[in-house]
């Protein structure tokens, strides 16, 4: 039996269609690892909680009185978790492959690794470009002028790694998609709570940046695989606006006012060019970026 103990944390909001599949995948994914589930529900109005209790009666379920956001849900779950465990933090629309959770936990045994992330595939089985580079003005400008997929092929010009070769081997990365990540107990204790001001999007970026600032490495583990059924932000104006606004808010925390103004201008140019091409999500984001000097992400009660 593996000596590691893991708390699996997931946050739900009207997740009835997906929660059963996620929970069912955990049994084979965790292998010999000792684990418990803590589910934080953001005031679902469907039978998410009932399905979870049926599939996993022993789970701890924390019910929030409102849709408080992803980070707030994680923090609420952590308050109910056993102390001193590693954490597997996952969206409920994920299906972990057999043994993948165990492999991610094993990656934490490498000294200095505080976070481990898997290779992701979409609903059609295609590789998801989930590895990210740190945000820079040049990368934001490259994405605006070249397009994200093309810019991401070259490290100086794109934030998302869009060449397939880097996804074949294990490596340390700047950060990665937060759909699934395993966090060591040491990292979790040192980094502390997730940032609830983000509400949705960039909270995992912020967490990874703080982990690196605390001296931990983030390891991409291609032998651990998961199916991610999400991706709603690309077609939802409100979600895309939240994602875009929070990218700038996060950048602002670590850079000068002048540097942030340049980054915001590059992101605004990106959205303006896509809005001219007729993209509704970019039109919504552009309105938010040009409406006020002080950015605030939308926080409706209808998004998970």
Could you tell me if residue 136 is inside a domain? Answer: no
Range of the domain at 180: 5-127+164-230
pLDDT band at 236 (very low <50, low <70, confident <90, very high): confident
* Percent of the chain residues past pLDDT 90, beyond the cut: 88
pLDDT in tens, 81-111: 999 999 999 999 999 999 999 999 999 999 9
pLDDT mean over 200-208: 92
- Give the number of domains in the chain: 2
pTM of the model: 0.93
Please give the DSSP secondary-structure letter assigned to residue 66.
S
Measuring CA to CA, how many Å separate 303 from each of 50, 53, 249?
20, 23, 20
Question: d(Cα 233, Cα 87) in Å, to the nearest integer?
Answer: 25
Measuring CA to CA, how many Å separate 47 from each of 13, 52, 106, 170?
10, 9, 35, 39
17: alpha, beta or left? (left if phi > 0; alpha if psi -120 to 50): alpha
* The predicted structure's pLDDT at residue 232: 60
pLDDT band at 137 (very low <50, low <70, confident <90, very high): very high
Question: Does the pLDDT value for residue 256 go beyond 80?
Answer: yes
64 and 44 within one domain: yes
**More reliable by pLDDT, 141 or 236:** 141
Asked whether the beta carbons of 236 and 134 are under 8 A apart, the reply is no
Q: Which residues pair with 40 in a beta bridge?
A: 11, 62
170 and 32 within one domain: yes
* The predicted structure's pLDDT at residue 304: 38
Among the listed residues 17, 26, 2, the one whose alpha carbon sits nearest the alpha carbon of residue 226: 26
243 and 208 within one domain: no
Mean pLDDT of the chain: 93
**More reliable by pLDDT, 231 or 132:** 132
185 and 122 within one domain: yes
pLDDT band at 301 (very low <50, low <70, confident <90, very high): very low
């Amino acid at each position: 039996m593996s000596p590691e103990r893991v708390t699996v944390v997931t946050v739900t909001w009207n997740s009835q269609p997906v929660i059963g599949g996620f929970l069912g995948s955990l049994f084979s994914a965790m292998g010999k690892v000792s684990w418990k589930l803590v589910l934080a529900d953001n005031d679902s109005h469907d039978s998410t909680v009932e399905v979870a209790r049926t599939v996993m009666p022993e789970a701890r379920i924390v019910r929030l009185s409102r849709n408080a956001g992803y980070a707030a849900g994680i923090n609420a779950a952590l308050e109910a978790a056993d102390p001193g465990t590693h954490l597997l933090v996952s969206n409920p629309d994920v299906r972990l492959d057999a043994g993948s959770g165990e492999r991610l936990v094993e990656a934490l045994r490498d000294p200095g690794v505080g976070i481990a992330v898997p290779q992701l595939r979409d609903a059609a089985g295609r590789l998801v470009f989930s590895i990210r580079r740190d945000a820079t003005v040049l990368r934001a400008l490259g994405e605006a002028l070249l397009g994200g997929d093309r810019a991401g092929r070259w490290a100086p010009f794109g934030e998302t790694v869009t060449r397939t070769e880097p996804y074949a081997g294990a490596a340390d990365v700047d950060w990665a998609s937060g759909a699934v990540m395993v966090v060591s107990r040491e990292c979790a204790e040192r980094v502390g709570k997730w940032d609830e001001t983000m509400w949705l999007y960039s909270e995992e970026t912020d967490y990874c940046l703080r982990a690196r600032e605390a001296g931990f490495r983030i390891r991409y583990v291609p032998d651990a695989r998961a199916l991610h059924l999400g991706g709603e932000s690309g077609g939802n104006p409100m979600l895309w606006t939240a994602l875009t606004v929070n990218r700038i808010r996060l950048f602002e925390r670590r850079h000068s006012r002048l540097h942030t103004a340049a980054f915001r201008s590059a992101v605004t140019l990106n959205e303006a060019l896509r809005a001219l091409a007729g993209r509704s999500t970019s039109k919504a984001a552009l309105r938010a970026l040009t409406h006020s000097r002080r950015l605030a992400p939308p926080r409706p009660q209808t998004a998970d």
